[in-house]
A and B are shown apart, each in its own frame.
Chain A
Amino acid sequence: MDSLPLGEEVIQKACSIAMEAHNYPEAPCRVENSPSSSDVFFTFPGSWSVADWFTRLPFGETKVDPSKLLSPKGKDKVATSLRSIGRDELATVNEGFWKRLEMILANPSLQSEVEKAIADKKQIVFTGHSSAGAVAILATVWFLENYIKPEITRMSPLCVTFGSPLVADFIFNHALRRENWSHCFIHFVMRYDIVPRILLAPLSSMERELEQILYLLNPKPLFPSQGSTRVASQFYQTVMRNASALTSHAACQLMGNANPILETVASFIELSPYRPCGTFVFCTGNGKLVVVRNADAVLQLLFYSTQLCSENELEEVAERSLNSHFDYQSELRERLKMQNVVHLDHLDGLPLSSNGAAAENIATSMALNELGLSTRARLCLRAAGEQEKQKLSNQQRMDRKKADIEAGLAMLEDYKSKCAVCQVGYYDAFRSSKDEDDFKANVKRLELTGIWDEIVEMLNRYELPEGFESRKEWVELSTRYRRIVEPLDVANYYRHAKNEDTGPYMDKGRPRRYKYTQRWREHALRMPVGSSAESSFWAEVEELQLHRRTRPGAFEEIRETILNLERKLKEWIDGEHISRDVFLEGSSFTKLWKSLPQQHKSVSCLQGQINS
């Protein structure tokens, strides 16, 4: 029998203290650190006011602010992990929950407790029920970014939530998966619990009802109160209709449907940006725990598992959609003992009908039945699995092209050393392109461009596995590629005087394949944004040369730039990121440097490197 990704005791404990936290709304953060336990629990009270859930229309969402919580101390120029690297798109999170975390962190107690736990080498567990689960998720990310990323500790935190609303968009999930943080997050969701679905609907569709519902859900007052069934039915239908729009839209994409009416209709309505992240454990209410890791599949399940069997069920299910929000403790107490756990892993081959499963699939089939999944729902899950498979196979296809890339780079490296022998750097040889070798190098450059542009194109459409941009071998290969080939692109750009048409290379002409891969390296090595610009060195030289030609007397205008470039160049030469051929007799850089005023040259940090 399958098991859960973490121990039964931790779950029970987390659940009970997460529920208990609601009783102390005045304590923004509670710590459970008993000397006898190896775990430290951090939990938060829930919030039941609409303003905390939705700070604005339509979904209360905001881009993460990389300058605040997520910038690791000291290295403030390092970009946040909560983004896609190449495309450089920031994740979106719920602003209300984010603000709550900010408020909690404004008080240093959480930090000091966390650091104490690290010092004691204890397992840190962030937990929360309902909206407190959302805060726990964000707190975990804060911890990962500030303690795991800078390697202050290597012990992964855990985040266990119960009936938590969704907190962030798909880029957030993309980033967690890329950083390999996804496994830290475990979310328990009761089949009918409405709360994890609420943020799939825009505030405008349910403003009044939401207030009533949150009031009903607040564990303090006793319910059911008068008329709650009617409100609950209304609310349930609103949330489900919006969830349906979102999930069917997502399903069309998973299935590769290209009907353009989708885009047109979508432009008239509001679709929630929120997506699941981490591992979900669905409690069927019938004895099974169903574990799902594929975020696309989780989104489909959030809708389909809550559908009705028949019309007469509406009121009953609507009531359950509220009541079951508080059933986690009892449900888990019973189920964990039975260890009746099913992992939905091979989604692309799920049985399509309730009784059509092959023998080895019986457990899966029963779990799907208990979640009430129709054939349509199962097809959507299959499509989610198929897409995951497709991403992997794209990655394999690119991996197979590595040999071609390596061969191309070897040829160009060879070209580079040949040019150095003739006392001209390959940059300048290529720029004047007089010989057949230069021309052959150009063809090789273009062949490599084809491969890298394909990768960029796939990244833009998120068609590669999330981890692709942080795979060590690709980061290294791309750096090698960038260093040897980008100078050729710069040379080509200025050789054809494209700067006269479009402006400087760095502003307008730099291809995405270099921007993306530069970010890969900066991210992998936690370097400040823009600091690995060695491959575009020649573009700066070209612009400075141009300045010297057109305004020879105006050295002062470029003094700072020159000083800066010299300093960087020295570092790059010392680090062997740029080879010494830039100092060769016939090199553009040597010519530029020699044209500088004597006064400057005599004190330059490059003085002595260049024969004058």
Chain B
Amino acid sequence: MNQLFSSGSEVASFVVSSGLLKLSWAKNLDCYGGVNLNEQHALGFSLRYKAYQEAKFNIIAFVTSPICTKSHLQEAELVSSTALRETFPFVEFLCSNGNSFSIHKAAITLFAAHMNELLQLKNQCGSSSKPLIITGHSLGGSVASLFTLWLLESLDVSAATRPLCLTFGSPALVGNKGFQQSISEHPVWTSCFLHVATSKDSIPRLFIPPHNLHTMGLTSQPYIYKPFGTFLLCFDMGCTCSDNPEAISELLVAMGMGGTRNEEQLVVDYGKIVEQLESWIIFEGISQFSDFMPNSLRAGTILQLEAIGLQKRQQQQQQNNDFDKLIEKLEKLEESCMLNKRKVFDPAKKLNDIKIKMALLEWYKKVSKAEEIGYYDCYKNHLSQRDRDIVRLKKFLTNYWKEFVAQTEKKPQKEGVRTRWLYAGTNYRRMIEPLDIAEYYKNGQKNYINNGRSDHYKKMEQWLEEAEKQSGFSINSKKQNVDVILTYDSCFWARVEEARICCRTLENADASITDRGSSRQNLMKFELYVMEQIKKSAVSSEIFLKDSSFMQWWKEYEKIIEPHHNLPLTDFMKNCKYHQYGSGCLVLN
């Protein structure tokens, strides 16, 4: 077992020594410009923001006038995203799959009031190539967070340098588990948020349960709502960082109860705090463990807590017990975080296994072809042990790709699917979907494309189309060898089955006139469809194998063709031109 480390202090050091805190705070201060601290909150808040152009990057600062303090937020009111959806269409993208999040009403109201100007600002951000810092203090920080999310939604994050949203003492934007996951599973998004909070400031922990459950009106779902982004938690002479929502909640609450409450200040001077933190970097720090401490994780955890003013005190048995529990909890979180990192669905690792399974299927296909039946019909007839083995393989592959599609869908579409997976996925779809179709029609069901098709196939097909449209990525150039290709349209066999059903309808004397009419029409359409595929060399030559369902269809169809019927496919089939299909010497016009 490897040693585990708790590296929150290192992240904090890095963030502080980057100098970005000082720089951003200065802009907040500048933006406040002359706001009177003691001005009363009679007329509500007004939003002030300003854009700065620095040598290396741009900064936008958001603050409110008057400065928002705890007393303003006492009557804290959270609005949930479901209520917001109608008024603010942009939250829509955050709320897919039943996710929801909540935000302070004052923040969203401010944001809404300035929607038009902010839209302009957003468009300007998109056009600059310089990296962007979006910063804000208190309620202004919430607006900054919203603005950043809005910006991210429209930004091609893979291409552009990502913005950094740096807030000071702002009420946390909290979301439910679904929101949490959808954001955190997209590392690019969480990576953009850094919230600075100090124990002297109660605003950041205002909405963190169980601190303020009553005012939040969320008592029915305690602990479900969690903060997101990275938090830099600071105390007089130290700080630590975490991006684990559970750990942040624990720490924020512990900081609030750690006996520092009476030191709470109305308006916290983050400028002074940042300056102190920067100067402390070059000091060794106070901590020197007196007791023998073999475990790196424990040592790192205690260091982190010490940095934010939490430590054991003499003669305070109860608090010390809580302290020990907190340490244990944090260690467990760190451990499970590391474990998860290893367990995370990593498609690359399995991709090779997938290829091996596909090779086994390729062999199945080959053997079926040699038997003049084709793997579609071979599987449909389900005769031998071999076919049953394929069921197992198919299940394995389908699970992998379903998971892959689900994971990919959670990320914003814009990221796109990498070429490697597009190839493998398309291959899979073209190889396996026919088997699903075989099962479907074998059970006597109808209309696979509309009723039976699994979503993951649809998505995969859609990805391919998007990639082809966007980047001219092509997987379908005309192959010289139709013997080795898989039929492009993975639903080809479903169309064949539907055509066969139509043939049966026409043969059935009891069928109504309307049914007969539509069947005939469908068959014509099918003929045109097949002919088009043949011209594009988009079907595998295996469909013409003696015992294939397609050839069965043709036999059935041939019998009921009306004498004057004259579509190109009829000519193609009647004159056995398919023998030349794939030989390269077939001339079609």
A→B interface (CB under 8 Å): 236-237, 240-242, 244-245, 248-249, 251-252, 254-269, 304, 307-311, 348, 352-356, 372, 374-377, 379-380, 382-383, 386, 389-390, 433, 436, 439, 442-443, 446-447, 449-450, 453, 457, 495-497, 500-501
Q: Is B383 an interface residue (CB 8 A)?
A: no
Contact B11 A260 (CB under 8 A): no
Interface segment out of the listed B13-21, B87-95, B319-327, B554-562: B13-21
Contact A260 B188 (CB under 8 A): yes
For A310, A353, A390, A433, the residue with the greatest tally of chain B CB atoms inside 10 Å of its CB is: A353
B373 to chain A, nearest CB (A): 18
Number of interface residues of B (CB under 8 A): 72
Known contacts A260-B187, A352-B294; 4 further A-B pairs (Cβ under 8 A):
A259-B241, A268-B164, A308-B284, A309-B284
Q: Which chain A residue shows the least CB distance to B289?
A: A353
A selection of 18 A-B contacts at a CB cut-off of 8 Å is A240-B281, A241-B19, A244-B13, A244-B14, A245-B14, A255-B5, A261-B11, A261-B190, A262-B11, A268-B56, A308-B283, A308-B284, A372-B284, A375-B299, A379-B5, A439-B362, A442-B362, A501-B474
Contact A497 B5 (CB under 8 A): no
Contact A261 B131 (CB under 8 A): no
Q: Is B296 an interface residue (CB 8 A)?
A: yes
With a CB–CB cut-off of 8 A, which chain B residues contact A375? 287-289, 293, 299, 303
Contact B475 A374 (CB under 8 A): no
Question: B57: which of A268, A307, A352, A380 is its contact (CB, 8 Å)?
Answer: A268
With a CB–CB cut-off of 8 A, which chain B residues contact A355? 290
Interface string of B466-510 (1 = CB under 8 A from A): 000000001101111100110000000000000000000000000
With a CB–CB cut-off of 8 A, which chain A residues contact B296? 352, 379, 382-383
With a CB–CB cut-off of 8 A, which chain B residues contact A241? 17, 19, 278, 281-282
For A242, A375, A457, A501, the residue with the greatest tally of chain B CB atoms inside 10 Å of its CB is: A375
Q: Is B363 an interface residue (CB 8 A)?
A: yes
With a CB–CB cut-off of 8 A, which chain B residues contact A263? 191
Contact B18 A496 (CB under 8 A): no
**A183–B494 Cα gap in the complex (Å)?**
69
Closest 7 CB pairs of A and B: A260-B191, A353-B289, A255-B5, A248-B13, A255-B7, A245-B17, A248-B14
Given A258-B341, A307-B284: A268 and B5 interface contact (C-beta under 8 Å) = no
**A389–B18 Cα gap in the complex (Å)?**
30
Contact B292 A356 (CB under 8 A): yes
B422 to chain A, nearest CB (A): 11
**A495–B480 Cα gap in the complex (Å)?**
11
Q: Is B100 an interface residue (CB 8 A)?
A: no
Given A255-B10, A383-B5: A376 and B291 interface contact (C-beta under 8 Å) = no
Contact B283 A310 (CB under 8 A): yes
Q: Is B356 an interface residue (CB 8 A)?
A: yes
For A252, A259, A353, A383, the residue with the greatest tally of chain B CB atoms inside 10 Å of its CB is: A259
Q: Is B352 an interface residue (CB 8 A)?
A: yes
Question: B9: which of A264, A268, A376 is its contact (CB, 8 Å)?
Answer: A376
* CB interface residues, B 266-308, toward A, < 8 Å: 278, 281-285, 287-294, 296, 299-300, 303
A261 to chain B, nearest CB (A): 4
Q: Which chain A residue shows the least CB distance to B3?
A: A386
Contact A261 B17 (CB under 8 A): no
With a CB–CB cut-off of 8 A, which chain B residues contact A377? 284
B257 to chain A, nearest CB (A): 26
Name A's interface SS. Answer: helix
Q: Is B182 an interface residue (CB 8 A)?
A: no
B347 to chain A, nearest CB (A): 13
**A359–B25 Cα gap in the complex (Å)?**
50
Q: Is B382 an interface residue (CB 8 A)?
A: no
Q: Is B173 an interface residue (CB 8 A)?
A: no
Q: Which chain A residue shows the least CB distance to B244?
A: A259
Contact A379 B299 (CB under 8 A): yes
Q: Is B312 an interface residue (CB 8 A)?
A: no
Contact A265 B15 (CB under 8 A): yes
Q: Which chain A residue shows the least CB distance to B474?
A: A501
With a CB–CB cut-off of 8 A, which chain B residues contact A354? 288
Contact A353 B10 (CB under 8 A): no
With a CB–CB cut-off of 8 A, which chain A residues contact B284? 304, 307-309, 372, 374, 377
Question: B194: which of A248, A265, A348 is its contact (CB, 8 Å)?
Answer: A265
**A261–B193 Cα gap in the complex (Å)?**
7
Contact A259 B484 (CB under 8 A): no
Question: A353: which of B11, B162, B290, B481 is its contact (CB, 8 Å)?
Answer: B290
Contact A252 B17 (CB under 8 A): no
* CB interface residues, B 84-115, toward A, < 8 Å: none
Given A353-B288, A380-B10, A433-B366: A267 and B17 interface contact (C-beta under 8 Å) = no
**A237–B3 Cα gap in the complex (Å)?**
33
**A449–B350 Cα gap in the complex (Å)?**
12
Interface string of B172-204 (1 = CB under 8 A from A): 000000000000000110111110000000000
**A466–B360 Cα gap in the complex (Å)?**
38
**A255–B301 Cα gap in the complex (Å)?**
13
Q: Is B538 an interface residue (CB 8 A)?
A: no
Contact A264 B13 (CB under 8 A): no
Q: Which chain A residue shows the least CB distance to B232?
A: A261
**A429–B358 Cα gap in the complex (Å)?**
20
Q: Is B387 an interface residue (CB 8 A)?
A: no
Given A260-B188, A265-B194: A446 and B7 interface contact (C-beta under 8 Å) = no
Question: B131: which of A268, A433, A446, A500 is its contact (CB, 8 Å)?
Answer: A268
Question: A251: which of B10, B15, B281, B485 is its contact (CB, 8 Å)?
Answer: B10
**A245–B12 Cα gap in the complex (Å)?**
10
Q: Is B431 an interface residue (CB 8 A)?
A: no
Contact A376 B285 (CB under 8 A): yes
Contact B18 A269 (CB under 8 A): yes
**A307–B279 Cα gap in the complex (Å)?**
11
**A240–B281 Cα gap in the complex (Å)?**
8
With a CB–CB cut-off of 8 A, which chain B residues contact A442? 359, 362
Contact A265 B164 (CB under 8 A): yes
With a CB–CB cut-off of 8 A, which chain B residues contact A308? 282-284
Question: A259: which of B11, B283, B363 is its contact (CB, 8 Å)?
Answer: B11
Q: Which chain B residue shows the least CB distance to A385?
A: B3
Contact B353 A450 (CB under 8 A): yes
**A500–B475 Cα gap in the complex (Å)?**
9
**A433–B287 Cα gap in the complex (Å)?**
68
Contact A390 B2 (CB under 8 A): yes
Contact B10 A248 (CB under 8 A): yes
With a CB–CB cut-off of 8 A, which chain A residues contact B485? 497
Q: Is B230 an interface residue (CB 8 A)?
A: yes
With a CB–CB cut-off of 8 A, which chain B residues contact A309? 283-284
A298 to chain B, nearest CB (A): 17
Q: Which chain A residue shows the least CB distance to B337?
A: A258
Q: Is B133 an interface residue (CB 8 A)?
A: yes
**A264–B191 Cα gap in the complex (Å)?**
6
Contact A356 B362 (CB under 8 A): no
Contact B338 A267 (CB under 8 A): no
**A237–B348 Cα gap in the complex (Å)?**
45
A413 to chain B, nearest CB (A): 20
Contact A500 B17 (CB under 8 A): no
Contact B11 A497 (CB under 8 A): no
